[in-house]
Structure 1
Amino acid sequence: MKIGEVAAATGTTAKTLRFYERAGLLPPPRRTSAGYRQYSPDIVARMDFIRRSQAAGFSLAQIRTILDIRDSGDAPCRHVQGLLDERLEALDRQLTELAALRGTVAHLRAQARTIEPDTCDPATVCRYL
């Protein structure tokens, strides 16, 4: 498959494919005698894996490590399990932080229910913040 065909089949761009190749996420493709990239059909499944991994919040470095493990012939399941544990912990921390932020914003909004522009001190910009 040529790069344009892969891009169309995966819903991405040729620029992204070249970037992933430079980043080590995609193996260097064979080249035609004219220098065009010639990808094997399994590149579509690999791109799908990259997209799913990004949707789970994994960084490109983490995805590259998973692919390196698979490419070496080993199953990356244990490594992925550890990454998923870390991701869940990070999401739980973010949710806690967001809940606290929501509480702060709700409190500020409650204070700002009654707008009294005549009593505002210009030096404070806005007393509700």
Structure 2
Amino acid sequence: MRISELANATGVETETIRYYEKQGLLAEPLRQPNGYRSYTASHLERLSFIRHCRALDMPLAEVRALLDFIDHPVADCAEVNHLIDAQLSRVRARLKSMKALEKQLSQLRKQCTDTHAGQACGILHELVAAAHGEACACHSAIEHQ
């Protein structure tokens, strides 16, 4: 199959496929006499694996490590568990950060409950105060120090 067909089958952009090839994550395909790349089912499977790992927000270095385990199936998989545990920790930290962001935005939103001229907007007032280094509704005074 051609690169456009591989891209359509996996939902991965052609430029990204070429990037993965350059990074050694995906083997370069054979070329047809006309110069077109010719991808196989193994390219499709490997690219689908990479795409799934990236959908789990795994860094490429970790995807590379997981691919190495696939390429060496008799190796001990303890490191696979470690990689997933590390990714899970990163996701949990981001969730905690996103919850804090949600709380800050909710506090900020409470500063203006109806429509009126911008000069009387509590949200704008709070954002300007924060820009001046002052405490605002969404950040405590301690956070500004």
Q: TM-score, normalised by structure 2?
A: 0.67
Distance 2:102 2:58 in 1: 26
Q: With CA pairs under 8 Å and 6+ residues apart, which has the higher RCO, 1 or 2?
A: 1
1:29 to partner: Cα distance: 2.1
1:96 to partner: Cα distance: 1.5
In the alignment, what sits opposite 1:109?
A: 109
In the alignment, what sits opposite 1:70?
A: 70
In the alignment, what sits opposite 2:42?
A: 42
1:21 to partner: Cα distance: 0.6
1:115 to partner: Cα distance: 7.0
**Structure 2: which amino acid aligns with 1:53?**
C
Cα contact 2:2–2:36 (8 A) shared by 1: yes
- 1:6 and 2:10 aligned: no
**Structure 2: which amino acid aligns with 1:128?**
E
- Shift of the 99–48 alpha-carbon distance from structure 1 to 2, 3 Å rule, reads same
Q: CA RMSD in A?
A: 2.9
- Shift of the 118–69 alpha-carbon distance from structure 1 to 2, 3 Å rule, reads closer
Q: Deviations over 1:49-74 (max 9, x none)?
A: 01110111112222122212322444
**Structure 1: which amino acid aligns with 2:40?**
S
Cα contact 1:66–1:76 (8 A) shared by 2: no
1:107 to partner: Cα distance: 1.9
- Shift of the 84–73 alpha-carbon distance from structure 1 to 2, 3 Å rule, reads closer
**Across the two proteins, how many residue pairs are aligned to each other?**
125
Cα contact 1:69–1:75 (8 A) shared by 2: yes
Distance 1:67 1:75 in 2: 12
Distance 2:53 2:70 in 1: 14
Distance 1:25 1:15 in 2: 14
Q: Give the share of equivalent positions with the same residue, in percent.
A: 35
Cα contact 1:21–1:27 (8 A) shared by 2: yes
- Shift of the 107–67 alpha-carbon distance from structure 1 to 2, 3 Å rule, reads same
Gap regions ≥5 residues in structure 2: 128-145
Q: Deviations over 1:2-36 (max 9, x none)?
A: 43443333333433322211011111223344444
Cα contact 1:112–1:128 (8 A) shared by 2: no
Aligned ranges for residues 90-109 of structure 1 at < 5 Å?
90-109=90-109
